Chains A and B, each alone.
Chain A
Amino acid sequence: MNIYQPQLALVTDAIDETPDTRTLRLEFQDEAVRESFAFKAGQFGEYSVFGAGESTFCIASPPTREGYIECSFKAVGKVTTALREVNVGDTVGFRGPYGNSFPVDDWKGKDVVFVAGGIGLAPVRCVIWNVLDRRDEFGDVTIVYGARSVADLVYKRELEDWGSRADVKMVTTVDPGGETKDWTGEVGYVTPVVEATAPKAQNAVAVLCGPPIVVKLTLPVLDKLGFADDAIFTTLENRMKCGLGKCGRCNIGPVYVCKDGPVFTAAQMKALPAEF
C-alpha cells in the first residue's frame, strides 16, 4: 500500500456543532488498523470523501479515548461540503496520523491554560481531554473559549461539562452582539477576556489556537501575563495536500508545517518569516 492510499473508516456518529460545523466519529474498517492505530495530541490527518477529495484537519478526539477518532470541520470548501453530507453508516478515507504533537508529558505538575477561538477549539479539545483524562498529573486547568456568537460555539455539551467541573476554571465568551437573552457567559473578544481572567504564568503553559487575528492579539497578552515564549504552544494550519513533506505546499519560510509542525511554540513562530 503506497503512502497516499487511505484507510477506510466507518462514520459511527455525526454531530452538528453549529449550522456549518460538524463533528464525525470514525472507526477504522480494518480490525488490525483499529487495534494498532495510535496518535499523539496535536497530530493531524487527511480525511477524504471519495469523489470529492482530501482535506486536512487535526484529530479532535484525545489519544486517551481509544477505538475511534473524531474530526470537526466547517463546511467551506469542496471536500468539507461533501463531508458535511456524510452520515452515520457512510465510509470515508483517512491517512495519518501526521506531524508533531503537543509535549503533554513535559507539562506534568504544571498549570495548563487553554485559549481557543471559534473552530480553533477542535485541536485544543484533543489536548483538553488528554489532560482531563489524566487530571491528577497536572496543576490548575483554565479554559478560555470564545466564538462570534452563541450559535457559533462548538462542543456545547462539553463546554457545559467542563464548566461544571470543580477542577476546571472555564470561561466562555461571545463577541459583543453575539449573545442571546439567556447567555450567562462573558461578552467580549477572547483577548481581553484572557487578560481579565489573568491565569498565573508561574509554572504554567498556555495552549493557544484560533483564527490568525486571535493568535496575533493574544500572544502579547500572554507575554504581559508573564508566559515565556517557549511556554506558549499553538498549532498552525496551512493548505496541505500530502501531509508527508512531499507536495511542497505548506512552507512558512523554511518550515514545513506538515513535518516540522503543526505544533509550534511562540518562540518558534516568532522566528518564522512573515509568510502566514
Chain B
Amino acid sequence: MTDGTDSGAAAPRRYFISEADLRGLAADLLGAGTEVIAPVSVDACQSPSALATAACLRPGVAPVDVEYKAIGEAAELDLGRDLPVLSLKQFFLPDHEALCRWHQRGLEVTVEEVPTTFAPRVVLAAKPCDSAALAVVDEVMNWDYKDELWNGRREASTIFNLACPVIDESCFCTAVGSAPDDVKGADGLLTPIEGGYLVEATTDKGRALVAAHAQRFAAAEDPATAALVRQAVDERAAARSRVAANLEIDAESVRDWIATHFEDPLLASLAIRCNGCGACSSVCPTCHCFDIVDEEEGVGRGTRRRCWDTCQAPTFTLHASGHNPRDDQHVRYRQRINHKFSIYPLKFGEVLCTGCGRCTRVCHAGQDLVEILAEIDIAARRPGEAAAVAGTSASGDVEAAS
C-alpha cells in the first residue's frame, strides 16, 4: 500500500518535467490503457456534484468547477491548482459499490464475489490534503480486519501530488499535521517551476512510474537547475507559512480536551448553526462512514452495496426500538468533532482531518471548522484544562473484558 514512505531509499530523486511532457505522460498512460485520474474543469451548472448557484440562472455566465475525473485525453488535465469540489475519496471508497451479488432460484441461493484487485491507475496533480487523507483512512481500513476493496484500490494507484498554493482562509492543513506540499499517502510531488514542474518521486511506486516513462523526465540535480529547485522549495515554504497563518492549534491538547469534556457546553454551542444536512461528510476526504444496503434487481437477484453515510443524519444511530443515542443535532455534531479530533487520534495516532476546508466552504449554515478548532484550542490552553487523558476513563483504552 502507498504510505508515502521510502523503502530504503535516501532523499527523493529530483527530475524536471515540462508541461508538454506532463501532458505527454498522461497521453502515454492513456495510450497504454492505464486509467488517469486528474483535476478537470467542468461546467459548474452541469456537474452532478455542482453546488448549483444563482449564477447558473444568469445568461452568459458559465461558472466553472474543478473535479477529479478519469480523463479521456491529456488536454483535459487542469493544472490550475484550484480545489476539486469532491476529494479523491470517491476513487477509493466510491459513493456506492457492490460488496457481493446474490442469486436465488427456488430455495437455492448463491453469492457471487466481487473483485478485490484493480487495474493499475495513476492520479496526477492530486491535492496533498486529499492524498494525505487516504493514508489516514488506511488505519481504520486495516484495523484488524483488512478492507480488501479499499486496499485493492490503494495498491493499484500511483499518486503524484501537485504542491498547493493554498486556496483560501478555510485551509488549515498545517494545523492538523499535513502541509500544502505533503507527500503523505502519495508517491511523489510536482512543484511548479519555470517552464514545467519539479518532480520528486518518494516511493518505489513513484520511482517506477518515472523509470517507465524516463523519456518524459530530465534530471534536475545539475547546478543549472539548482536555482530553480531552490525557488520551488522556497515557494513551498511560503505556502506553508500562509496556511499556518489561518490556524494554529495544539492538536494534542485539543484531542485531550475533547476526550475529557464530553458534556462541555462549549461543544454544544459550537454546533449551534448546524442543521445536519451532512454535506460536510460528502465533501470530506477522511469521512469514511458507510451504510450497507441490499438492492434488489428483480426477483431472486440483487446486489449488496455499501454507500456513503453520515453521522449527521438522525437515522445513523437510530435503534430499531426507537431509542436513539444521538437524538439531537448538537450531539451528532459533537460526534463529528470528537471522531475526527479525539477518538481517531487516540485510537490510531492520526487526526481524521487534513485541513482541506471543504466542510467550511460547503456549509450553507456557516459552520466554520477553522473557528471551531480555534475555540476548542483556546479552551484547551486554559490552565488545568488540557488534562492528560492517559489513564483516565475517556482514553479509549477500554480493554476487552475477555
Contacts and interface: CB of A to CB of B under 8 A. Distances in A.
B398 interface: yes
Nearest to B112: A5
Given A103-B402, A252-B325, A260-B398, A241 B292 contact: yes
A170 B317 CA distance: 36
A103 B400 CA distance: 9
B391 to A, nearest CB: 11
Contacts of B99: 2, 4-5
A3 B399 CA distance: 24
A121 to B, nearest CB: 16
B307 to A, nearest CB: 10
A50 B302 contact: yes
B100 A5 contact: yes
A274 B146 contact: no
B402 A100 contact: yes
B111 A8 contact: yes
A42 B325 CA distance: 22
B325 A238 contact: yes
Contacts of A272: 393, 398
Given A50-B102, A246-B140, A4 B292 contact: yes
A238 B110 CA distance: 30
Given A5-B111, A53-B293, A91-B109, A263 B347 contact: no
Contacts of B108: 91
B315 to A, nearest CB: 9
Interface in A33-62: 40, 42, 48, 50-54
Contacts of A237: 319
B105 to A, nearest CB: 11
Given A254-B342, A259-B143, A4 B100 contact: yes
Contacts of B145: 3, 244-246
Given A3-B145, A255-B398, A271 B331 contact: no
A252 B325 CA distance: 9
A246 B143 contact: yes
A247 B147 contact: no
A254 B346 contact: yes
A254 B402 contact: no
Contacts of B245: none
Given A91-B109, A233-B401, A253 B394 contact: yes
B401 A51 contact: no
Contacts of B111: 5-6, 8, 93
A1 B113 contact: yes
A1 B111 CA distance: 10
A89 B402 contact: no
Nearest to A93: B111
B309 interface: yes
A18 B208 CA distance: 64
Nearest to A10: B107
B393 A3 contact: no
Given A239-B318, A247-B290, A8 B109 contact: yes
B343 interface: yes
B324 to A, nearest CB: 9
A245 B401 CA distance: 17
A265 interface: yes
B302 A51 contact: yes
B402 A101 contact: yes
B385 interface: no
A114 interface: no
A76 B321 contact: yes
A59 B342 CA distance: 32
B304 interface: yes
Given A2-B149, A102-B401, A233-B401, A247 B325 contact: no
Contacts of B104: 50, 91
Contacts of B399: 268
Contacts of B294: 48, 50-54
A259 B348 CA distance: 14
A264 B140 CA distance: 22
Interface in A226-270: 233, 237-239, 241-242, 244-249, 251-255, 259-260, 263-265, 268, 270
Contacts of A254: 259, 338, 342-343, 346-347, 394-396, 398
A3 B148 contact: yes
A142 to B, nearest CB: 20
B290 A238 contact: no
A274 B263 contact: yes
A249 to B, nearest CB: 6
A172 interface: no
B309 A268 contact: no
B261 to A, nearest CB: 10
A251 B335 contact: yes
Contacts of B318: 239
Given A238-B317, A239-B317, A247-B309, A2 B114 contact: yes
B146 A248 contact: no
B316 interface: yes
Contacts of B147: 2-3, 246
B326 interface: yes
Interface string B110-146: 1101101000000000000000000000001101111
A275 B304 contact: no
A223 interface: no
Nearest to B395: A254
7 contacts: A53-B292, A211-B321, A245-B145, A253-B396, A255-B398, A265-B401, A272-B398
Given A50-B102, A74-B320, 20 more contacts: A2-B113, A2-B116, A3-B146, A8-B111, A48-B294, A50-B104, A51-B102, A53-B292, A93-B102, A211-B321, A246-B140, A253-B343, A254-B342, A259-B143, A260-B400, A264-B398, A268-B398, A271-B393, A271-B398, A272-B398
6 closest A-B pairs (Cβ-Cβ)?
A254-B396, A271-B393, A248-B289, A273-B262, A100-B400, A77-B320
